[in-house]
Structure 1
Amino acid sequence: MLRIVYPVVVLCIMTISAIAQKKTKLHPVQHIKVEWEIVENHYQGKSGFQSAFTFTNNGKSDLPAKGWSLYFNIARAIRPETVEGGMAIANINGDLFKLTPAAGFKGLKPGQSVRVPFVASDWVINYTDAPLGLFWVLDDQPEKGLKVENYRIIPATQLKQIKRAPDDKYGFTTPADLYLQNSKIEELPVEGLTKIFPTPAYYKEGQGVFLLDQINVIAAADPMFTKEAGYLAIEIGAVLGKDILISINGSTGPVVITKEDMPAEAYELSIEPDRIRIKASDRAGAFYAIQSIRSLLPAKAFAGKAAGASIPVLQVKDAPRFGFRAFMLDVGRNFHSKQQVLRVLDLMALYKLNVFHFHFSEDEGWRIEMPSLPELTQIGARRGFPVDESKQLMPSFGSGPDNKSSGTGHYTKEEFIEILKYAQKRHIRVIPEIESPGHARAAVVSMKARYERLMKEGKKEAAEEFMLHDPNDQSEYKSVQGWRDNAMNVAQAGVYRFLARVFDDFIAMYKEAGVPLDMIHVGGDELPAGVWEKSPVAQELIAKDPNLHTTFDLWYYYYEKVNNLLKERGLAAYGWEEAGMRKTQLDGKSHYIPNPDFARGVFQLDVWNNMLGWGAEDLAYRLANAGYEIVLSPVSNVYFDMCYYKNFDEPGYYWGGFIDLDKPWQFIPYDYYRNARKDKFNTDLPASFFEHKERLTDYGKQHITGMQGLLWSETLVTPQMMEYMLLPKLLGLSERAWSVDPDWTSEPEPMAGAAYWKDWSRFVNRVGKRELPKLDYLSGGFAYRIPTPGLVVENGIVKANIQLPGLTLRYTTDGKDPDLNSKLYTGPVSEKGMIKMKAFSSNGRSGRVAEVKNE
């Protein structure tokens, strides 16, 4: 019977499919191939770049001269008067643009192409600068976006395509450049490397090993360490494949944790052939001792059972340099799942970072459910088309026409509570950031939709309760990201009711999780010029309040009220650097100084702006000297979303420079002028550059609370891309935030001497030979960036090196890209032709191909 029925079923399916195809006949726009290319930076000798779309009709029918449009996102301001090819381009808002055929466009016959050049602001150099999220919209179907399926970004191959300005000294990064950069790295035997990461204050290996199979019980001599003993039991149990018992108030056995008087988070670890002893004064110290034990484990132990595993005999005395060792993750621009956040927390725990700065709200998304304000995630956590912001936010950062991209997503209350509990078990504080008053578009749009809905229902009082905008505001402004409506109107009483409600929702969620909340980050960065200037509500407040004289005074008004709201709830205020600045006049010009009203324990600040040439290179030190608690978050060294180096195929932003693993590692927290030698164009800075900059005083040093690495997510549309930008840079942050300054930092030219290169060699050998293999297995494995090999031809021989010793190099001579079966590089290659080489990790992943011709 099956033989009879099966063909009939197939026939039915084929018939239905044919009918469906007939019904869903594709519009001519869906047969258009779209290409984009960089034409030239510094176009016609002026600031700005020219790029071009090329549209090719691969269909069998004409593309009509009108009746359609193309939407796309690009993080540059397109100059509409420069658009050619019979097209027009207009900005919708933010980074969303709309291309439409102009009067001069005659349509496109099958096989024909049209090129559409245009000029935009600043410059572009890599594929993440390209227009993204392209979709067609037909005039007769204005509510539907049709994703562009045939889109190609043409690689840049000419210097004019990536050279940003005449004084840009960076060209394409070649294999020869990489070889030179790696040339002073010495390969070191793994046996001689420090086996705990980050580097302990005191570390001494002895003779012999401790066999993990000896562990059958873990004793907490003081009950306060019960949870840490349980955590270690689970970790070791997973390695050994057996259950480990816990002994409370025990003082004997293979592993004992005891209480001793020492500084917060400090610990001592003693490993002998027959026992392990941990001493700490608090639970965090015991936890970090356990992370040091995990650091000693062989890499495959992180994959599960590792029978017969051992760790070396050693003595360790250790304590962190900074009490605040933070990592900030932006999930507003692009969403990252709960599971991905938990993986990041696992990383932070292993590398002894203790603050998770959760940047969950932005212009482009609000990602945590607020039980009392559901609109924040019903509307503010979704991006899509049509541009009807009573239902969702408009597309941005390439999120496209539907709600299936990383532009859409949020954490439910239950998921956020799970994150809090997971972090607490790993001694990680979670500090949520409510971006305000700028960078707040997701909240503003969500509350505006709520306002309009309730007004239609005749509920005026309820509508105005959490109102963040002034309906009559005619102010004209544009944020750095191109938004014209992204600021809360701080003259509205609803803003403070809104913040109070959000604060209270957070307090309730932390309480339900059983996790303490002592601080909330309230934003404060990049408020656009022109905000509130033509707002009747704002100007009326200024006229009534004797303490307000100009529109800018609303800034202090806002943060004083926000600080009071937090104080009433027993919470401390945390913000970006601008929250601690006061605008005044110097020689008739605007001048910013540390605001004395918020210093000395009132505000903790993240200071990011040390951009060389922008004039605020000393801002972190000025604020610390003024009494602010400062978390060093400098773009120059710890903005992990910056490109590793300059090449078309290397993703990420670069406005703050190019940041590889060396940048966070070489940072000198108390005197970062000493490791700033070049500007963003790779031009050497004059010796006098920092002469008139304020230096950190001993008083100011007391106010450097810690360090923070930051990962902004504009370009991070997948978990793999997030991990690529994060790792291995995070390890450089971990080393510098935990460990003391190495000796080379006190030399006259810190990064020029033999001590620097010796220490750098030790570090990269530890990363490549000990840490990356662990990351191949930790939490299922991380997609860290594998560096590209350096290659050079000398006297007819090809030599190769790599930034991270321990990775395997393989090469080909037949023009094919190397794979796991390709020849192993063990020394200089004399073979002729095109030599292609890749680096491979312990689990077979590979990086980019480097190639050189040996003639």
Structure 2
Amino acid sequence: MKRCRFTVLLLMLVFGLSLTAMSQNDRFDPASLHVTWELLDNHHQQSNSYLSSLTLINNGDQTLPAEGWSLYMNNLAGEDRTSNFYIERVNGDLNRLYPTAFFEGLEPGDSVSVRVISPGSVLNISGAPIGLYWVWDSNTEEGLPIGSYKVKPVNDPDVLNRGPQDQVPVATPEVVFERNKDIPNLNEADLPKVFPTPVEYSTFNGTFALNSDVIIDYLPEFENEARYLSGEMARILGDSLAMSTDSRGGQGRKILLRRAETEPEGYRLSIRPRTVTISASDSAGIFYGIQSLKTAIPPEAWTADQPSVAVPAMEVSDHPRFGFRAFMQDVSRNFRSKEQILKTLDLMSLYKLNVFHFHFNDDEGWRIEIPGLPELTEVGSRRAHTLTNEEHLQPSHGSGPNSNYPGSGYYTTEDFIEILEYATERHIRVIPEIETPGHARAAIKSMDARYRRLMEQGQVEEAPRYLLRDLRDRSEYRSVQGWDDNVIDVSLPSTYRFLGKVIDELQAMYKEAGAPLDRIHMGGDEVPNGVWELSPSVIRFVRDNPEVESVGGLWSYFFKRVNNMLKERGLSLYGWEEIGMKEALWGGESHHVADTAFAKEDVQVDVWNNVMGSGAEDLAYRLANAGYKVVLSGVSNFYFDLAYVKAFPEPGLYWGGFNSLDKPFSFIPYNYYKNAKTDLLGRPLAADHFNDMVRLSEEGRENIVGIQSLLWAEKLINDERQEYMLTPKLLAMAERAWAPKPEWAEGDWSSENENQYNEAWSQFLNSAAKRELPRLDNYAGGFAYRIPTPGAVVQDSMVHANVQMPGFVIRYTTDGSEPTAESTKYTEPFALPEETVVKMRVFNHAGRAGRPITIE
């Protein structure tokens, strides 16, 4: 009997295993799922919403089941109008799509479309869903890649229209042609050989033969600069130049590094057939003289090792307009490797920028190793599929289900020290930003993980030492980026222990690197309504501290305390514009005004909100007049993550408008109202729009310390995209930050100013196209800068074309194929044959092409 039972059990076990194997083999494979997304309407039913279609196609041999699965993705929030699927927000920009009871599954070869109505608008490919992956309900801890995903192009410009109020034109070939029509092709020999534009510049007959026989003769105080120059010349000549401090030695050709009385960071550069002399009163001036010497060298010299390079004779006397010339790099939303950061520092130094604002932490990632707080990088630097965010953070910005670059990554202490040393050698100050109290989700989740680890180890007293939230807090809020758990609790003593620990460790790294650190950026932007209101710690704190009258008073309390923490360490406070604001009532209405008391504390602010037409355009001037040190960081001119133009294939954000190359170039720092013409939606600004806005006082003018360009990383999906968004816009920003006030910015804006501006703009474009961008093809390994699309119109059956960058080549085909470097070169208008598709692309001097256009 026992044997019989055993046999039956054995048969049942074998049969069950075979059924399991069969069910596993028959299970739908997510790798056979193909998904497409298409934008259908940007002004759906005359509302501020858009309609799109997400189509699921079963390319496999098994049925896609009617239930038991979810499709996760970033960037698609809204409601499915087909009733087949639910779409719910997980957190941040992560959403989950899963079937309703109405969905019947999908047979092999079949497809189903999800019609989604979402708030807002999508104007280019960066607004499409991204980072799609599959999760089974039976194994919710594992995210699986799908087979493929494609965004369908939008060929109808009307689809990109946001309604009657939207007057920003789509950058069709015709629109681009009109924008380019007045750009002349200037003779390269007539272009300045130094960039950015120096204060004084003159040329002479003759050249200096730069080869490996040249000696760098330097004063001992300029040894670091001499060593740098020797290494830079090795990039051109293949060998570094010999260095000497014996000014009497030899009669050969020399580069002399000498002392002279100049403005701070200023220099004099003299290039003669036998001698190059760079003189300055400080080492920074010598360094910038070296950069000018490098831009005087013909750009093709960086293509390959040269036996000798002829450098034209000239005299330059120069100094910067602003002492604070900054670039901010966000590495939290998408990480950039150490090597990419060093490459960016090379670019900055070439164009004489001297501040690297390092945005290393935010909601989506913490990127610098902090000794003693390992969870910051073990948890806070990694993104992958998770339902708990306990071991790592959830996917954001298309990072997908696995911990891959650029969603994940961090700098070790050794990496960061190397970055600091590299920047310091190039006279670039690195200012770290510790985002507080909002935008802090990565830090919060990391310190939660530390708490859990120590509690499991029985270290009950140590566990909460660096907690950044009250574990009993039930406050409800939603940040601008969609997070409901990203704000530090500023009532907790542990918050200040955490900040003190991080600041101390950063200071130690700066000290080891020999890098200057006088300010730390402490964030301070975009704290949403609703935070702290249901925190027991906050409620108790407000009750026990009469000077904090309400939850709203915690903002000022926090930054006053942080300011004191920094001062105790010999540092000054730096932050976003919000740290200089307070709430006030005028006529019964709430307004944000400058907090004048805080301005006396040597606080520096980045003012980003100059969105034209918003009514807040004067904020930078109000804060400067109130006594704050202001860095002009306006979204309308210097947010380089904004798309260049309105066109569906063009990547980048657009919430603050579009940031074409002319936006940073045309900026007038002390009166940017002067040449502002349109608002966020392209509508002409009223003649009296700026009449009641604050102007800079004389004292306020002194408080404008500089200009900053910024590159947020939500859409920087790889290093090439970073370089595309950064260049050539950085050249235009460098011109405004360094060069003297241009003639076209003088006086009230008139037709004469317009003509002067157009001349300067044309010279800048010619210099960029014929000297600086060809240099960047190879400099520091080469940069994937944006190559513009051609402009084109059809007139009397003839195709006319032009290009923004004179000297770049337009090539075309008439058979519908993509133009290559061997395709026909456009030299003059040509006939458009009937029923022919013409495709055109712009090629740079190295043969790399931009995005193609089609003419039918």
Q: CA deviation at 1:281?
A: 0.3
Q: Tell me the distance in 1 between the aligned counterparts of 2:204 and 2:214.
A: 24
CA distance in 1, matches of 2:786, 2:27: 40
The within-5 A match list for 1:324-339 is: 324-339=324-339
Retained in 2: the 8 A contact 1:267–1:286?
A: yes
Match of 1:541 in 2: 541
Match of residue 146, structure 1, among 136, 144, 147: 144
Name the % identity. 48
**Alignment match, 2:125:** 127
The residue that corresponds to 2:112 in the other structure is 114
Q: Which aligned pairs between 1:396-415 and structure 2 lie closer than 5 A?
A: 396-415=396-415
Q: What CA distance in whole angstroms lies between the structure 1 residues aligned with 2:162 and 2:674? A: 26
Q: Structure 1 residue 656: deviation in Å?
A: 0.8
| 1:226 and 2:223 aligned | yes
Give the Å deviation of 1:213: 2.6
Q: Distance in 2 between matches of 1:655 and 1:497?
A: 36
Distance of 2:510 and 2:207 partners within structure 1: 43
Partner of 1:183: 181
Equivalent in the alignment of 2:573: 573
Deviations 1:29-64 (A, max 9, x none): 432221111121222122221212111222222221
Output aligned runs, 1:181-220, within 5 Å. 181-213=179-211, 215-220=213-218
Contact kept, 8 Å, 2:28 with 2:62, in 1: the verdict is no
Q: Distance in 2 between matches of 1:648 and 1:829?
A: 28
Residues 710-742 of structure 1: CA deviation (Å, up to 9, x unaligned): 000000010001101001000000000001221
Match of 1:248 in 2: 245
The answer (yes or no) to whether the contact 2:41–2:159 under 8 Å persists in 1 is yes
Structure 1 residue 24 displacement after superposition: 7.3
Query: Is contact 2:789–2:850 with CA below 8 Å preserved after alignment?
Result: yes
1:86-141 superposed Cα distances (whole Å, 9 cap, x missing partner): 11111111111111111111112223222211222111121111111111111122
Contact 1:387 1:393 in 2 (8 A): no
Deviation at 1:829, TM superposition (A): 2.1
Structure 1: 5+ residue runs without aligned partners? 1-19
Moved more, 704-713 or 396-405: 396-405
Moved more, 844-853 or 322-331: 844-853
Q: Residue 837 of structure 1 corresponds to which residue in structure 2?
A: 840
Q: Alpha carbons of 1:170 and 1:650: their partners in 2 closer, same or farther (altered >3 Å)? A: same
Q: Is the 8 A contact 1:744 1:750 kept in 2?
A: no
Distance 2:500 2:562 in 1: 9
TM-score, normalised via structure 1 length: 0.95
Q: Does 1:265 align with 2:262?
A: no
Aligned position for 2:501: 501
Unaligned stretches of 5+ in structure 2?
1-20
Instruction: Label 1:186 to 1:139 Cα distance change in 2 as closer, same or farther (>3 A).
Output: same
Letter matched to residue 483 of structure 1 = W
Who is 2:5 aligned against? none
List per-residue Cα deviations over 1:743-800 (Å, max 9, x = no partner). Answer: 1112533687221111111000000000111000011111000000111122332221
Q: Does structure 1 retain, via aligned residues, the 8 Å contact 2:325–2:355?
A: yes
What do the CA deviations read for 1:574-617 (whole angstroms, capped 9, x no partner)?
A: 10000111112111121111112221352100000011233211
Instruction: Measure the CA separation in 2 of the matches of 1:269 and 1:251.
Output: 21
Partner of 1:802: 803
> Could you tell me which residue of structure 1 aligns to residue 162 of structure 2?
164
Which has the larger displacement, 763-772 or 45-54? 45-54
Counterpart contact for 1:50–1:120, Cα < 8 Å = yes
Q: Secondary structure at the match of 1:346?
A: helix
Q: Distance in 2 between matches of 1:764 and 1:380?
A: 42
Q: Structure 1: how far apart are the matches of 2:572 and 2:25?
A: 58
Task: Find the aligned partners of 1:332 and 1:242 in 2 and give their Cα distance.
Answer: 38
- In the alignment, which residue of structure 2 is the partner of 1:15? none
Check conservation: 2:212, 2:240, Cα contact below 8 A: no
Counterpart CA distance in 2 for 1:331 and 1:514 is 23
CA contact (8 A) 1:601 1:627 kept: no
Q: 1:254/1:130 Cα in 2 relative to 1: closer, same or farther (>3 Å)? A: same
Cα separation, 2, equivalents of 1:260 and 1:449: 57
Query: How far is the alpha carbon of 1:232 from its aligned partner?
Result: 1.2
How many residues end up aligned between the 2 structures? Answer: 830
User: How far 1:831 sits from its partner (Å)?
Assistant: 5.3
Following TM superposition, by how much is the alpha carbon of 1:182 offset from its aligned partner in structure 2, in angstroms?
0.6
Provide the residue aligned with 2:95 in structure 1: 97
What SS does the corresponding residue of 2:211 show, helix, strand or coil?
helix
Distance, in Å, in 2 between the alignment partners of 1:653 and 1:603 is 30
In structure 1, what is the equivalent of residue 18 of structure 2?
none
Q: Give how far 1:237 is off.
A: 3.5
Partner of 1:514: 514
Change (3 A) 1:180 1:464: same
Range 445-454 or range 285-294, more displaced:
445-454
Query: 1:289-688 to 2 correspondence within 5 Å?
Result: 289-688=289-688
Q: Deviations over 1:685-710 (max 9, x none)?
A: 00011111101111101000000000
Task: After TM superposition, give the deviation of residue 149 of structure 1 in Å.
Answer: 2.2
The one of 134, 137, 143 equivalent to 1:136 is: 134
Contact preservation (8 Å) 1:807, 1:840: yes
Q: Secondary structure at the match of 1:706?
A: strand
| 1:455-506 deviation line (CA, Å, top 9, x unaligned) | 2333222111101001111111000100000000000111100000000100
Contact 1:613 1:679 in 2 (8 A): yes
Query: What are the superposed Cα offsets for residues 255-279 of structure 1, whole Å, 9 maximum, x if unpaired?
Result: 1111112221000111111111111
Change (3 A) 1:831 1:373: same
Aligned with 2:461: secondary structure?
A: helix
2:176 & 2:750 partners in 1: Cα distance?
Answer: 21
Structure 2: which amino acid aligns with 1:358?
A: F
Change (3 A) 1:831 1:125: closer
In structure 1, the partner of 2:758 is 757
Structure 2 contact 330–360 (Cα < 8 Å) conserved: yes
Q: CA deviation at 1:842?
A: 1.9
Deviates more, 1:91-100 or 1:727-736: 91-100
SS in 2 for 1:203: strand
Deviations along 1:138-193, whole A, 9 cap, x unmatched?
Answer: 11222211112221111223345311232101243111111110111111000000
SS in 1 for 2:810: strand
Quickly say closer, same or farther: Cα 1:204–1:852, change in 2 above 3 A.
same
One-letter code of the match for 1:241? G
Query: Matched residues in 2 for 1:428 and 1:445: separation?
Result: 32
Aligned mates of 2:239, 2:29 — CA distance in 1: 63
Runs of 4+ in structure 1 off by over 4 angstroms are: 20-26
Map 1:718-733 → 2, pairs under 5 A: 718-733=718-733
Q: Cα offset for 1:214?
A: 7.4
Aligned partner of 1:6 in structure 2 is: none
Is the CA contact 2:212–2:241 (under 8 Å) kept in the aligned structure 1?
A: no
Give the match's secondary structure for 1:187: coil
Deviation string 1:348-395 (CA, Å, 9 cap, x unpaired) is: 010000000000001000001001211100000000012232200011
Aligned counterparts of 1:721 and 1:116: Cα–Cα separation in 2: 30
State the distance in 2 between where 1:605 and 1:231 align: 33
Instruction: Give 1:22 deviation, angstroms.
Output: 12
Amino acid at match of 1:179: F
Cα separation, 1, equivalents of 2:773 and 2:197? 16
TM-score of the pair, normalised by structure 2: 0.95
Displacement after TM superposition at 1:303 (Å): 3.6
* Matched position secondary structure for 2:517: coil
1:590 partner SS: strand
SS state of the match for residue 523, structure 2? coil
The change in CA–CA distance for 1:748 and 1:113 in structure 2 (over 3 A counts) is same
CA 763–205 in structure 1, closer or farther in 2 if over 3 Å, else same: same
Q: Is the 8 A contact 1:223 1:249 kept in 2?
A: no
Deviation at 1:280, TM superposition (A): 0.1
Contact 2:30 2:144 in 1 (8 A): no
